[in-house]
Amino acid sequence: MIDTHAHIYLEQFKEDWKKVLSAAIESSVTKIYMPNIDASTLDTMFALEGKFPDQCYSMIGLHPCSVKADFEQELKIIENWLGKRSFAGIGETGTDLYWDKTFRHQQIESLEIQVNWAKIHDLPIILHSRDSLDLSIQIIEKNHSEGLSGIFHCFTGSLDQAKRITDLGFYLGIGGVVTFKNSGLGSTIESIPLEKIVLETDSPYLTPHPYRGKRNEPAYIKLIAQRLSEIYCTDISEIAEKTTYNARKVFKAK
């Protein structure tokens, strides 16, 4: 299986990277895609990728919660790195109106710039949309062009929103929330073809049941896949096979 979204370079993992990655392999998680947050997280992300190049893959982007008055300077740093080396994708970017609406317009501008980078570099884009899913969808619809694709990370929206996303050629990133007893997410995604679903943990956040409240890690992908097997009334091996195929397609991996 593939974890399409894990921040395992963060300080919550600094004492046991090797143990976490070994546990992931034991749970059949072969690849982990790491979304960036801002310029401050690049060094540790690159360091982890350097230690485990066959398992960890870096993306680059500016998280909407890191969009402040100086966001243009942050974007310049990221754009400079895009010219230096290859990346698996653009992200994590998007919009977030949960924590702070102060920089709403800057978030939109930042996202549109990063959408353009995804087009120029032919890379998937990874979208965060907390309390702002309609806004993120509208921005992608406005800026969409043939070949643009990616993942709406941590999807928890409605069936209508899911269909708008998949009609754009994007995928739904499904994580630990689907295992929460009262999330209602299962009844939404059961109407979405499995061909439009990818697995993610968002480690160290959004830990699936029964470990909710503890640090999340890529090995817990298996718990998410198990829940999806119940929703789609199929074996976990089919969930693993199809979501892995989808993830490889998103990231243009061989």
CATH of the domain at 45: 3.20.20.140
* pLDDT tens per residue across all 254 residues of the chain: 999 999 999 999 999 999 999 999 999 999 999 999 999 999 999 999 999 999 999 999 999 999 999 999 999 999 999 999 999 999 999 999 998 899 999 999 999 999 999 999 999 999 999 999 999 999 999 999 999 999 999 999 999 999 999 999 999 999 999 999 999 999 999 999 999 999 999 999 999 999 999 999 999 999 999 999 999 999 999 999 999 999 999 999 86
Angle between helices 104-121 and 71-82 (to 10 degrees): 10
Q: Is the dihedral of CA 72, 73, 78, 79 positive or negative?
A: positive
Structural contact between residues 130 and 156, judged by C-beta atoms closer than 8 angstroms: no
Question: What span, in angstroms and rounded, lies between the C-alpha atoms of 61 and 91?
Answer: 4
Q: What are phi and psi for residue 86, nearest 5 degrees?
A: -90, 155
Closest CA to 71 of 41, 114, 34: 114
Q: Which domain holds residue 75?
A: 2-250
Partners of 90 in the β-ladder:
60, 125
Structural contact between residues 1 and 199, judged by C-beta atoms closer than 8 angstroms: yes
Number of domains in the chain: 1
> What pLDDT is recorded for position 99?
86
> What pLDDT is recorded for position 92?
97
Give this prediction's pTM.
Answer: 0.97
Q: What are phi and psi for residue 102, nearest 5 degrees?
A: -55, -45
Tokens encoding 252: 């243009």
- 204: preceding bond cis by omega (within 30 degrees): yes
Euclidean distance between the first and final Cα of the chain, in Å? Answer: 14
Tokens encoding 128: 């965060």
> What pLDDT is recorded for position 254?
61
> What pLDDT is recorded for position 171?
98
Closest CA to 208 of 180, 230, 183: 180
Structural contact between residues 37 and 7, judged by C-beta atoms closer than 8 angstroms: yes
> What pLDDT is recorded for position 253?
87
Structural contact between residues 226 and 35, judged by C-beta atoms closer than 8 angstroms: no
Angle between helices 104-121 and 133-143 (to 10 degrees): 40
Alpha helices in 168-220 (DSSP H): 185-189
